[in-house]
Chains A and B, each alone.
Chain A
Amino acid sequence: MAEKTRLRVPTEAKKGDVIKIKTLTSHPMETGLRKDDNGKPIPREIIKSFACEFNGKPLFRAELEPAIAANPYIEFTAKMAESGKFTFTWTEDDGTVTTAEASITVT
């Protein structure tokens, strides 16, 4: 279960600027390959996809594998043409969805 998400998104930008968006969410990203102390396999539980939309339009998407470190950190860019809202979605193996939002003013 992703409990906490952290975003770093500028709140203001000039038209035409390319901004950096940094996201972090707390999640163990259990690979399914590890065994517990009794030798039983620990079932896989990862965030398998991440998506970012801007004003409802797809901006960036990532498909993650168990080779992504725990507490997945994802950084990407966006070219700003208008003010609006970013929507971030993390989807886990079991279908759990975590969302977050950030707004930006473009002048």
Chain B
Amino acid sequence: MSQITRRAALTLGAGIVVTLVAAGEGMATPAEADAEIAKFTGGKTAEAGKIAIDLPEIAENGNTVPLSISVDSPMNADDYVSDIIVISDGNPFPGVAKFHLTTLSGRAEAATRIRLATTENVIVVAKTSTGKFYTARKLVKVTVGGCGG
């Protein structure tokens, strides 16, 4: 763990939030996250709702944060969720993952484990086969640090 840089460390209460990357590399900003979403939606506005994001409110270890996503969709040939993107607004790069689903999926669900550099929003946007976009976001407080951090 000694090679994790501490330049971007900031104190948070008694603990210390240590970002996983050097501040010099630059972090994604909410504007970059929005740009990434706009690229996915082609400029269309994503409607809030239909998506449930399961993430811890407080992640003690930003190196591996369980994420699970479920979108309310009939998942039949006429209407199914074809793509889901996961975006962060505080990581070095906004992109986290893209999931591509099919009618064989049965349910619009996916789960993985992600890295979060700091306390930040995780934004999920889902695209349906009918061309609709839905979005949801969740703020995760990240505390990395050994002693009660």
Measured between beta carbons, the chain A residues less than 8 angstroms from B101 are: 60, 76
B96 touches A67 (CB 8 A): yes
* Chain B residues within CB distance 8 Å of chain A: 2-5, 20-22, 25, 63-65, 68, 75, 88, 91-93, 95-107, 109-116
Number of A interface residues, CB 8 Å?
32
Measured CB to CB, the residues of A under 8 A from B are 18-19, 31, 33-37, 54, 57-70, 72-80
CB pair A34–B21 under 8 Å, yes or no, is yes
Residue in contact with B88 in the complex, picked from A54, A67, A70, A76, CB distance below 8 Å: A67
Ordered by A's residue number, 9 sampled pairs between the chains whose C-beta atoms are within 8 Å are A31-B21, A31-B115, A33-B21, A37-B3, A60-B99, A60-B105, A65-B93, A65-B97, A76-B111
Contact assessment for A66 and B115 in the assembled complex, using a CB-CB cutoff below 8 Å:
yes
Q: Which of B64, B65, B88 has the most CB of A within 10 A?
A: B64
Instruction: Apart from A60-B99, A62-B98, A72-B112, list 10 A-B contacts with CB within 8 A.
Output: A19-B106, A31-B115, A37-B2, A60-B101, A61-B100, A63-B98, A65-B95, A66-B92, A69-B64, A76-B105
